[in-house]
Amino acid sequence: MTTTATHRIRVWDLPTRLFHWSLALLIVASFVTVKVGGNLIIWHERSGYAILTLLLFRLVWGVAGGRYARFAAFVRGPGAVRAYLRGDAGSAHAPGHNPLGALSVLGLLAVVGFQAVSGLFTNDDIAFEGPLSAQVSGATASLLTTLHRWNEKTIMALVALHLAAILYYRFGKRRDLIGPMVSGDAEFPGAWPASRDDAMLRLRALAIAAACGGVVAWIVR
Ligand code: HEM
Ligand code: HEM
């Protein structure tokens, strides 16, 4: 019988983890502030800008981040997804997002991205105008406002699917995905290279995040 030793390695660099938990918190904040309404709409708007900053950061981090945070490490074609679904060895227990999980990651980024961008063009016909709503025709602004409202359901559905998948891994496959998203580390059979997560990488993340914040501030000024 052959046994493969397991090794504990860094999978998610700190910037990726901070990105994730900040995004999750801000999505909840966006829903709470808009449902409570009233004066909180200003915080709905600010939370949306912060989410836009995070998403821009994640796009850049997808090419400049740690090994497993890079798009090249997890975005795969339909062939890889089919192989994963068939349970082919090799793709089964490796660090990073699996080929199917990667689809959910891209889906979440896309629908949340659409929400944050469409929010800039909203116009509630009472007191609120998004910062770019005057740049488009009234018809376009109301269409984007309607889509912004409808997209609520898509976000809820994808987040529910996201959480269901994580619970399935936890209790169905006995694999904890949440711990690594908190601590950064996970154990894998065989030797895998660890992600970088040193001070220089984190400094790079800080510079990228600051630049993304600057871009968003300039867009909504
Ligand atoms: C509104 C809420 C949430 C959103 C929009 C969201 C979105 C995302 C995104 C975009 C990723 C990819 C991370 C990256 O590569 O940058 C991710 C991964 C992950 N999320 Fe969430 N998330 C949410 C809530 C949660 C919650 C509440 C949990 C835990 C209970 C969670 C657990 C995870 C885990 C464990 C991963 C890594 C999955 C893997 O190992 O492939 N997420 N999430
Ligand atoms: C990803 C970020 C965002 C999320 C998750 C989000 C979520 C939502 C949701 C769920 C609603 C519907 C509330 C309801 O009808 O009960 C809504 C409405 C609204 N959002 Fe956002 N939003 C985001 C970003 C923004 C931004 C950046 C702005 C403006 C700058 C904005 C402005 C508005 C306005 C004005 C409404 C009310 C539209 C109306 O019903 O007339 N949102 N948002």
* Residue 50 in contact with ligand 2 by CB distance below 6 A: no
pLDDT of residue 88: 74
Give the model's confidence band at 43: pLDDT under 50 very low, under 70 low, under 90 confident, else very high.
Answer: very high
**Which of 25, 26, 30 has most ligand 2 atoms within 8 Å of its beta carbon, as the pocket-test mutant?**
30
* Residue 66 in contact with ligand 2 by CB distance below 6 A: no
pLDDT of residue 2: 56
Contact 48, 119 (CB under 8 A): yes
Give the model's confidence band at 127: pLDDT under 50 very low, under 70 low, under 90 confident, else very high.
Answer: confident
Longest Cα–Cα distance in the chain: 71
User: Where do the H-state alpha helices sit in the chain?
Assistant: 14-36, 41-64, 71-74, 78-86, 99-119, 138-167, 178-183, 199-220
* Residue 30 in contact with ligand 2 by CB distance below 6 A: yes
Closest approach atom of ligand 1 to CA 109: 10
Task: List pLDDT tens digits, range 143-160.
Answer: 999 999 999 999 999 999
User: Where do the H-state alpha helices sit in 68-137?
Assistant: 71-74, 78-86, 99-119
Q: Is it the case that residue 93 has pLDDT exceeding 90?
A: no
Give the model's confidence band at 126: pLDDT under 50 very low, under 70 low, under 90 confident, else very high.
Answer: confident
Proximal ligand: closest to the CA of 16 = 1
- State if pTM tops 0.85: yes
Listed in sequence order, the residues at least 6 apart from 80 whose beta carbon sits closer than 8 Å to its beta carbon are: 91, 99
Mean pLDDT computed over 123-144: 90
Proximal ligand: closest to the CA of 62 = 1
**Structural domain 7-220, CATH architecture:** Up-down Bundle (1.20)
Listed in sequence order, the residues at least 6 apart from 203 whose beta carbon sits closer than 8 Å to its beta carbon are: none
* Residue 55 in contact with ligand 2 by CB distance below 6 A: no
pLDDT of residue 3: 62
Ligand 1: lining residues by beta carbon, under 6 Å: 16, 19-20, 23-24, 27, 58, 69, 97, 101, 105, 108-109, 112, 159, 162-163, 166, 177-178, 181
Structure tokens at 197: 């997560």
Give the model's confidence band at 200: pLDDT under 50 very low, under 70 low, under 90 confident, else very high.
Answer: very high
- Closest C-alpha to ligand 1, atom 22: 24
Q: Is it the case that residue 11 has pLDDT exceeding 70?
A: yes
